[in-house]
Every structure is written in structure tokens, then in C-alpha cells.
A = this chain, B = another copy of it.
Amino acid sequence: MTLPTLEATPIPGLVVLRLDLREDARGWFKENWQREKMVALGLPDFGPVQNNMSFNAKRGTTRGIHTEPWDKFVSVANGSAFGAWVDMRDGDSYGAVFTVELDPATAVFVPRGVGNSYQTLEDGVTYSYLVNEHWRPATPYPALDLADATVAIPWPIPLDEAEISEKDRTNPSLADAERMQPKKT
């Protein structure tokens, strides 16, 4: 299996991984996350403790923008999605935006303090991610309005046609959203 390649982005610590998909008559196989190889290439040894999956019935389903206080390794298990991230950490890159199309050959490492969101580009897409802290139901995580005019994410499907949760319809704008502490160095 060919090593993945890692690409830096305008958001410090947010890394795009191009994975080797081994295709054959059955379909494909991928090492979605491989600790040893990816750490050797420069990915943090982030120590996942939880693997979440969300299934989205319809094209245009949009989730986010969620800024949990833990790192995430995200990808799709099938289909494709438009991924968008906003740096919510206080500092020079505060408010920086990055977007990329997620297909099975693309994964993204999202450092804590960066807002995470996606919109599915077809029906029946499962989004899968690894996180390095357990979810705490009692602690609501900071979030940002998907339609925020300052960050102005170019959603492929207009948000008024998108399936969005009740919760994600009332998230604050950038001006009112919580700023995250930058990582101590």
C-alpha cells in the first residue's frame, strides 16, 4: 500500500490526507487511519478513544459548525461530501476557512478548536470520525452559524434546501461565537 500524502492548509494543524484506495473487482480497500505510517509522516499521535459514524439519507444534509474541545480524524465511508472548517482559536489565523471535497480517498485531521462541518453531495453518505476524548453529554460544545456572513462558506447546495437539525439552526454568528483557547506550546 502506497503511503498517504499529507497537505498543509491555511488552518494551522489542519491536515488533508490523500489515501491509497486499493481497487479491485470487489470494490476498494483503504487503511483509513494507520497510526504508525501517519505519525511517521507527521500526523500527531492523537490517541483516538471513540469512533463515531453519522448516516445522511439525503443529498444536501448539512451538519455543523461544531467546535468540540478534542481532535478529530474525519472521512467518508462511502459517497462524497463537501467539508468546511473554520479556525475558532484566538490568534493570527482566527476566522480562517478551509474547504475540501471528501471522497473515500480523502481524510482530514482537525485539531481541537477548529469548527467542523460538512454537507453531503449525494444520498446515503456515511461520515466516520475518530476522536481522542469521550463525548460529554452534559457539556454543550461551542458552535457557529452555518450561514455566517463573515466566514461565508460556499455550500454547494443552498442551505434553505438542506436538511439541518433544529440545534444547528440557532448557532451564533462569528461575532457572538465563543473563541477557543489556542493550544499551549
Q: Which A positions have Cβ atoms within 8 angstroms of B?
A: 1, 24-37, 48-57, 61, 63, 77-78, 104, 124, 126, 128, 130, 134-135, 137, 163-165
Contacts and interface: CB of A to CB of B under 8 A. Distances in A.
Given A77-B126, A126-B126, A165-B24, A53 B34 contact: no
B28 A54 contact: yes
Given A78-B78, A78-B126, A135 B27 contact: no
A51 B130 contact: yes
Q: Which 6 A-B residue pairs are closest in the complex by CB-CB distance?
A: A77-B77, A27-B55, A33-B51, A77-B126, A35-B49, A32-B51
Given A31-B52, A48-B48, A50-B34, A57 B26 contact: yes
Nearest to A34: B50
Given A26-B164, A77-B77, 13 more contacts: A26-B63, A27-B55, A27-B61, A30-B52, A31-B52, A32-B51, A33-B51, A34-B134, A35-B50, A51-B130, A53-B104, A55-B104, A78-B126
